[in-house]
């Protein structure tokens, strides 16, 4: 009766798989012809060779310990599944392999039976696939049935900010914003059940979570994949950040166009009243003049001609005012260093002049002069606000105050013009900045605040209004200051 070893020899002779039988001491006892060929030995040449001779240099020094460890806790296991495993031929060539290990007892001695699989071709194929995946512009992530990441490409690494090693085995929910994490788990399971390709984020806003905690707008296509390791899902993730930014720019542009359109419509309407009215009055007056001339009423003619003159002059001034508004923002103006305190004081002096109106101007300036601004724009703004404050003082009050107050807020300066005048009703606060809007008999052409608003916008600032009827009004202007490089 042949010994157990003889039986194994026979089996090894007919085996078509590269296999080795290794003793506890790490000596090769038997090898198949395929193994001899794989490692570059003559037939039977591997017998007696130490197993560590077949492992790469790096592993060789501690390989005997690994062998010992294996024999201490022998079991059936597969090596190379989750990490790269390599073998070395007689000629030093390194071959990627997977190894199936099991133990057998032969003639009372425990031995390791190792089947070695040459995975060079599979590796080459995988590398090619990986290269193609890495070359793809879209991030790709494959998850297994449990929702763990089993594959990712380079685009995914750069999109999510994780290292590839960190992404692998990570639950996919870690890349989902917190508020939908739970729902995502449910969706993922039902998708695994249904197994039909679909896209996410086409109609709804979809976000993925970056390592640093911010959300990335994305669009995702899901494809079910059947693999030897079970059902998987390949997701292709398209980064919509730039797209979303472009959409925002477009929306802003169309809002501006709409605004310009509205302003134009408003202007056309106003022009039909405010610009046409003086011409119509002049026409009427001239008709009367012609009739009076025939009848020899020369005094009346003279009076009406003077009226015509006045109306034309007023209209010319008004048109100048409209042009001033229309021109705002067209010319580029260099910001200059200016003394805001001086500007306010000079305007005030011009406006109140020698006749000391019974209005007190108070300055509460918290900024430090000089500031760097477009001086002309600031002057126009302050002139109009101060002149309004003065004009709309409440005659029922014994004392009239106007305060100019400044604050600094980062790079922004806030200028408040505060008065205890008649105030503006809530209803009128909505329209007070409209072109040609005259609120009462004290109003001018209805151009002043429209001009202020344009100038503030030109400075990249905001104009707000806070007023209570009977108590007073505060106009506040906030705009960024420039800095002169020294």
Partner 1 sequence: MKIPIVVVDDQETDRYLVKRNLARADDFDVPVELPSGDLFLDRFFSRDPGDHSDEPVLLVLMDINMPGLDGFETIEEAQRRIAQGQGPQSVAVMMFTSSDNAQDRQRAEDLDIVKGYITKPISKENISYIRSLYKSIDEDE
Binding region for partner 1 (CB under 8 A): 269, 272-274, 276-277, 279-281, 283-285, 287-288, 291, 307, 311, 438-441, 443
Q: Which is nearer to partner 1, 143 or 432 (CB)?
A: 432
Q: Comparing C-alpha atoms, which of 461, 385, 384 is closest to residue 418? A: 385
By C-beta, is 47 or 439 nearer to partner 1? Answer: 439
User: Which residues lie closer than 8 Å to 38 by C-beta, 6 or more apart?
Assistant: 18, 87, 89, 95, 116, 118
Pick the closest to residue 337 from 368, 363, 366 (CA basis).
368
Measured distance CA(279)–CA(290) in Å, rounded: 16
CB of 486 to partner 1, least distance (A): 50
Q: How far is the CB of 374 from partner 1 (least distance, A)?
A: 32
Largest interatomic CA distance in the chain: 156
111 or 424, CB closer to partner 1? 424
Specify the residue, 61 or 284, whose C-beta has the smaller distance to partner 1.
284
- Whole-number minimum distance, CB 283 to partner 1, in Å? 6
Which of residues 97 and 289 has its CB atom nearest to partner 1 in the complex?
Answer: 289
Strands 94-106 and 109-118 come out as antiparallel
CB of residue 276 vs partner 1: minimum separation in angstroms?
Answer: 5
**Least distance CB 280 / partner 1 (angstroms):** 4
Cis previous bond, 343, omega within 30:
no
Selection from 374, 371, 382, 267 nearest residue 331 by Cα: 374
**Separation CA 139–CA 461 (nearest Å):** 41
Query: What's the closest the beta carbon of residue 395 comes to partner 1, in angstroms?
Result: 17
Angle at which helices 298-327 and 276-295 cross, to 10°: 170
Nearer to partner 1 (CB atom), residue 69 or residue 286:
286
Q: Which is nearer to partner 1, 295 or 368 (CB)?
A: 295
DSSP code for 54 = G
Q: Which is nearer to partner 1, 291 or 320 (CB)?
A: 291
- SS3 state at 406: strand
- The full DSSP string for 74-141 is ---EEESSSS--EEE-TT--EEEEEEEEEEEEETTEEEEEEEEEE-HHHHHHHHHHHHHHHH-SSEEE
Record the tokens describing residue 117, joined without a space: 């699989």
User: Considering the complex, what minimum distance in angstroms separates the CB of residue 284 from partner 1?
Assistant: 3
| Minimal distance, residue 213 CB to partner 1, in Å | 53
Nearer to partner 1 by C-beta: 52 or 300? 300
CB of 297 to partner 1, least distance (A): 11
**Nearest to residue 183, comparing CAs of 202, 207, 159?**
207
Residue 206: burial class (beta carbons within 10 Å; 0-12, 13-18, 19+): buried
């Amino acid at each position: 009766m042949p010994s157990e070893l003889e039986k194994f020899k026979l089996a090894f002779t007919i085996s078509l798989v590269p296999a080795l039988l290794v003793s506890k001491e790490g000596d090769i006892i038997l090898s198949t012809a395929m193994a001899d060929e794989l490692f570059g030995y003559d037939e039977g040449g591997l017998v007696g060779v130490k197993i560590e001779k077949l492992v790469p240099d790096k592993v060789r020094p501690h390989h005997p310990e690994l062998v010992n460890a294996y024999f201490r806790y022998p079991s059936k296991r597969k090596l190379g599944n989750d990490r790269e495993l390599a073998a070395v031929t007689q000629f030093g060539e390194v071959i990627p392999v997977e190894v199936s290990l099991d133990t057998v007892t032969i003639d009372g001695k425990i031995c390791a039976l190792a089947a070695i699989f040459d995975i060079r071709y599979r590796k080459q194929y995988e590398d090619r696939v990986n290269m193609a995946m890495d070359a793809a512009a879209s991030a790709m992530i494959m998850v297994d049935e449990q929702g763990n990441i089993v594959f990712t490409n380079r685009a995914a690494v750069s999109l999510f900010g994780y290292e590839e090693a960190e992404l692998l085995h990570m639950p996919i929910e870690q890349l989902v914003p917190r508020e939908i994490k739970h729902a995502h788990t449910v969706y993922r399971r039902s998708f695994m059940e249904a197994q039909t390709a679909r896209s996410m984020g086409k109609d709804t806003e979809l976000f993925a979570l970056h390592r640093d905690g911010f959300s990335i707008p994305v669009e995702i296509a899901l494809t079910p994949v059947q693999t030897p390791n079970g059902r998987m899902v390949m997701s292709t993730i398209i980064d919509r950040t730039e797209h979303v930014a472009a959409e925002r720019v477009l929306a802003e542009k169309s809002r501006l166009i709409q605004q310009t359109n509205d302003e134009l419509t408003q202007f056309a309407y106003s022009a039909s009243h405010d610009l046409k009215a003086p011409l119509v009055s002049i026409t009427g007056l001239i008709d009367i003049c012609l009739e009076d001339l025939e009848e020899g009423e020369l005094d009346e003619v003279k009076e009406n001609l003077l009226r015509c003159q006045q109306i034309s002059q007023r209209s010319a001034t008004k048109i100048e005012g409209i042009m001033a508004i229309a021109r705002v923002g067209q010319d580029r103006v260099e910001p200059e260093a200016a003394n805001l305190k001086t500007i306010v004081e000079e305007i005030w002096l011009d406006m109140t002049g020698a006749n000391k109106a019974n209005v007190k101007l108070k300055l509460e300036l918290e900024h430090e002069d000089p500031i760097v601004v477009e001086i002309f724009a600031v002057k126009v703004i302050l002139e109009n606000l101060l002149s309004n404050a003065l004009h709309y003082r409440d005659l029922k009050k014994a004392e009239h105050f106007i305060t100019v107050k400044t604050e600094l807020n980062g790079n922004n300066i806030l200028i408040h013009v505060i008065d205890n005048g008649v105030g503006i009703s809530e209803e009128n606060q909505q329209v007070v900045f409209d072109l040609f809007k005259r609120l009462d008999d004290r109003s001018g052409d209805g151009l002043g605040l429209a001009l202020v608003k344009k100038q503030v916008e030109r400075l990249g600032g905001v104009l707000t209004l806070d007023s209570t009827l009977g108590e007073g009004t505060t106009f506040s202007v906030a705009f960024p200051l420039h800095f002169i490089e020294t």
